[in-house]
Amino acid sequence: MTTPPTPNLFNAMSPALSLSEIAERLQGYDPQALSARHVNDFLAQLVQPVREQDRVPLMQAHGRILAQDVVSPISVPPHDNSAMDGYAFRGAELLTNQPTPLKVVGTAFAGAAWQGTVQAGECVRIMTGAIMPAGLDTVAPQELVKIADPKGDKGDTVHIPPGLLQTGDNRRLAGEDLMAGLPALRAGTRLTPAACGLLASLGLPTVSVWRRPKVAYFSTGDEILSLGEAPREGAVYDSNRYTVAGMVQALGCELIDMGVVRDEPAALEQAFRDAADQADAIITSGGVSVGEADHTKAMMKKLGDVAFWRIAMRPGRPMAVGRIQRGERAAALFGLPGNPVAVMVTFAAFVRPALQQLMGWQTQPLPLLKAKSTEALRKKPGRTEYQRGIVSTNAAGELQVSITGNQGSGVLSSMVQANGLIVLGHTQGHVAVGDEVEVMMFDGHL
């Protein structure tokens, strides 16, 4: 079920700006030598989040993005309760230099309040999760106490050794997890398994989430073979279609797979129009390099407000970005390079955070880990390099990283071997053995 949006999350965002207006806001913007930082700054102003909401059952909410704050209707836990099996008593009765003797006067089980009363010098045997009896504030774990003269459930005397407990130990306070009337989760939060469990602990069967963005993808070029086609000289099978599909779906967007589009003006125009009619974002691969002998760039220019960049990075220098307007719809456009590794790197560095913004996902950039390089790396200042790396732990327990070997932008096997990208910054130079470098871990998104 789709419902109208509420204005509480993105109402402060400005209307969509033209590419020229965005460029004017970026100090030092140069489309022919664009830094990685400028790319992300630009895309942050280009992409407008989806505004429609869905109300979904909690069992179907995993991976979705909250559209509204969730205010806790109850406190969790609703009562003070025991954190473990043991004996509940008044902490003020603990003796300092000798065992504290307490008479057991009953047992409190989880799921119902114990109905008795506890006098001075008495305690209640209690199970994990059971409500703390009135007036009691401390639990002695059963493995710590010594039982003297056992006489059954009522009549046992337990001795608590001195110096092991303090008042309040092993008691969970009412509302210490979530307090009624306060926000439990904020709008823009991605619903992880833990977040879904938290909502379930509040008794909420449904939740409001932003609609999944629709992302259309197609590959371009006469040299691209679809799976099932016979091999031919000079042609390659379309791996980009499957890497992009996997990355888009892992992010939580809805994929519109448009296959391979030949380098023919009519076919390209129809593909771009069809994609813009259906999708919130369009991703293509191939046809954006300087001097490309195809019609992709020309068709982007014809149909949309598009900028063509030469990014100061390796791999993945050429990229096209913009919008294609179709009536009241405007689809964000990301034209990626054609080489397989360049496609994955530009997606991870630029398209992924842009799509997260499209989803309404209020998230921080992926954290970069620090690891020691096991080998010398050659690097020219003036561009950002993303080298495929394998992060491991050395004998001293420190993180280390080595490259996967051949770093060519067509060596897709290196992405399979790697578990992260070594990020060598724009101003950084050569790296010596043992130097610390930053690593963007894949974390399942590549």
Residue 418: both structure tokens together:
């790697």
The predicted structure's pLDDT at residue 15: 60
Element (H, E) at 277: helix 265-278
Residue 270 binned pLDDT confidence (cut-offs 50, 70, 90): very high
* Cα–Cα distance measured from residue 370 to residue 36, given in angstroms and rounded to the nearest whole number: 19
Whether residue 7 has pLDDT greater than 70 = no
**List of domains in the chain:** 2-52+212-359 (3.40.980.10), 81-172 (2.170.190.11), 368-441 (2.40.340.10)
Question: Span 264-290, mean pLDDT?
Answer: 92
| Residue, of 292 and 377, whose pLDDT is higher | 377
Q: Which residues fall within 8 angstroms of residue 208, CB to CB, at 6 or more apart? A: 3, 53, 54, 55, 66, 67, 68
Q: Which residues fall within 8 angstroms of residue 134, CB to CB, at 6 or more apart? A: 117, 118
* Cα–Cα distance measured from residue 192 to residue 200, given in angstroms and rounded to the nearest whole number: 12
Question: Span 58-87, mean pLDDT?
Answer: 97
Q: Which residues fall within 8 angstroms of residue 394, CB to CB, at 6 or more apart? A: 372, 400
- The pTM assigned to this predicted structure is 0.87
Q: Is the dihedral of CA 353, 41, 186, 369 positive or negative?
A: positive
Question: Span 159-184, mean pLDDT?
Answer: 96
> How many CA atoms within 13 Å lie on the side-chain side of 431?
25
State the DSSP code for 342. H
Question: Span 19-33, mean pLDDT?
Answer: 93
Percent of the chain, pLDDT > 90? Answer: 85
Whether residue 11 has pLDDT greater than 80 = no
Is residue 65 a contact partner of residue 254, using CB atoms and an 8 Å limit?
no
The predicted structure's pLDDT at residue 293: 52
Question: Span 49-66, mean pLDDT?
Answer: 97
Residue range 114-170, pLDDT digits in tens: 999 999 999 999 999 999 999 999 999 999 999 876 554 556 899 999 999 999 999
Q: In sequence order, what E strands does 90-192 have?
A: 100-108, 122-126, 138-141, 146-148, 157-160, 171-172, 183-185
**For the chain, how many residues are written?**
446
Question: Span 245-250, mean pLDDT?
Answer: 96
Residue range 386-442, pLDDT digits in tens: 999 999 999 999 999 999 989 999 999 999 999 999 999 999 999 999 999 999 999
Whether residue 61 has pLDDT greater than 70 = yes
Residue 220 binned pLDDT confidence (cut-offs 50, 70, 90): very high
| Residue, of 305 and 148, whose pLDDT is higher | 305
Q: Beta-carbon neighbour count of residue 380 at 10 Å? A: 11
The predicted structure's pLDDT at residue 226: 92
Q: Is 396 exposed, middle or buried (0-12, 13-18, 19+ CB in 10 A)?
A: exposed
* Cα–Cα distance measured from residue 231 to residue 282, given in angstroms and rounded to the nearest whole number: 28
Average pLDDT for the chain: 92
Whether residue 34 has pLDDT greater than 70 = yes
